[in-house]
Every structure is written in structure tokens, then in C-alpha cells.
Amino acid sequence: MTAEVRTVIRIMIVEDQTMVREALKGSLAGVEDFSVIASIADAALAPLYCERTKPDLVLMDVCTENDSSGLDAAEIIKQKFPGVKVVMMTGLPEVTFVERAHAAGADSFIYKDAPLDELEKVIRGTFEGGSFYPRPHASELNFDELTRREKEILRLICDGLSRKEICDALGITINSVKTHFANILSKTGYESVAKLAIYAVSHGFINTKIKP
């Protein structure tokens, strides 16, 4: 009885942070049916590299080197090379990225805090024709459990502010912000503020167009 032979998926990584890029490259290259054929830092070069290296799938950060937009690059790639699959990724809590990735034609979307086995499933599933985007959290968010300060911080997270920017906006220390983050995640049952921000805005708990 012969063993099943999997098709090797040719992957290009677009990620501006060297350590993250190399870690992804090393992890994915160690998967039997994955082959990392290119890894670059600037999304503006991604269409050119697609033409040269002919990947099956591009794993691309939303924001890359030289302020290049991975979303813009994804749109170009899907127009010029419709057979190439694009998986967008980000570690930022910007609530519009998922919607914009959809609009750009990206096949899938994943957060950088996802475990490696989840990333492998998304890559394989996308290669096979599937589409994977973050789903709303299974449980309802009990917004009233949050303190006034925690609600304030959640709003700033939804506005896309970094931890340092939240410190400056509220006049508190980075350790205080970290504590508030931990309390917010503990009360809501989320594992990342990015996913919580998506849920809070999409379900009307936070309206980023209305300022308090």
C-alpha cells in the first residue's frame, strides 16, 4: 500500500520584521508539503516576485517595509495572477483590516498570534480553494462587566492606538496598560485584543465614528 503523496505548496512570505520573517520561514520550511521559495520585506515588490518565482500562495503582512501596503499588493496580485492564493496576516488591532482584505480579494486572513498548526490549516485550506476569515466570538461580550477605564481603553484599542499611544492619551504607565489589557481579556474570554476589537466594533459595543 503506497503512502499518500501531498502536492508541495510553494509559498512566498512578505513580512518586514526580520525575526518574524525568519521564524515563519523556518517553521513553514519544516513542514513536509510546504516549500518557502521567497521571503521579502516590502509588499510593493510582491507582484514582481510573484512573476519571477511563481508561488502557489503568498503569506503577506498588512503593513510592511517602506510603508508599503500588503492590502494594495494583494489586490494587484489577485488581478494579475488570479491563480495565486493570498493569505493576509497582521498583529495589529485595526478593525478595518479584515473588511479591507475582503475588498482587496485576499483569500484568507489570520492573526499573527495564531498557533502554527492553525496557520498550516489555513494555508492548506486556502490552497485547496477555501477562504478563512476571523469569525465572531462564540459567546456574547458582557460589556457591563468592564470598568469605566477598561471601556475607555477598549475604545482606544478599537481606534487603533498602540500601547504607548494609550499611555500618552490617558497619562498612565505601560505596566498599567498591560494590566488593563489582561483584565479586559480575562473578563471577555478573548486571547487577543485584535480579535476583541473586531468583535466589539462589528457588534456595536464600540462605535469608532463617535467619540465620547
Which segments of the chain belong to CATH 1.10.10.10?
Answer: 143-202
Instruction: State the pLDDT at residue 49.
Output: 96
Which segments of the chain belong to CATH 3.40.50.2300?
Answer: 9-127
Tell me the per-residue pLDDT of 94-126, one tens digit each, with 9 for 90 and over: 667 888 898 999 999 998 878 888 999 999 999
Query: How far is 145 from 63, CA to CA, in rounded Å?
Result: 34
2: DSSP letter: P
Instruction: Determine the topology of domain 143-202 in CATH.
Output: Arc Repressor Mutant, subunit A (1.10.10)
Say which CATH superfamily domain 9-127 falls into. Answer: Response regulator (3.40.50.2300)
This prediction has a pTM of 0.66
Percent of the chain predicted with pLDDT > 90: 45
Query: How far is 34 from 38, CA to CA, in rounded Å?
Result: 12
Tell me the per-residue pLDDT of 118-134, one tens digit each, with 9 for 90 and over: 999 999 999 999 999 87
Cα–Cα separations (whole angstroms), residue 124 to 22, 127, 207: 20, 5, 36
Indicate if the pLDDT at residue 81 is higher than 70.
Answer: yes
Cβ atoms 38, 25 nearer than 8 A: no
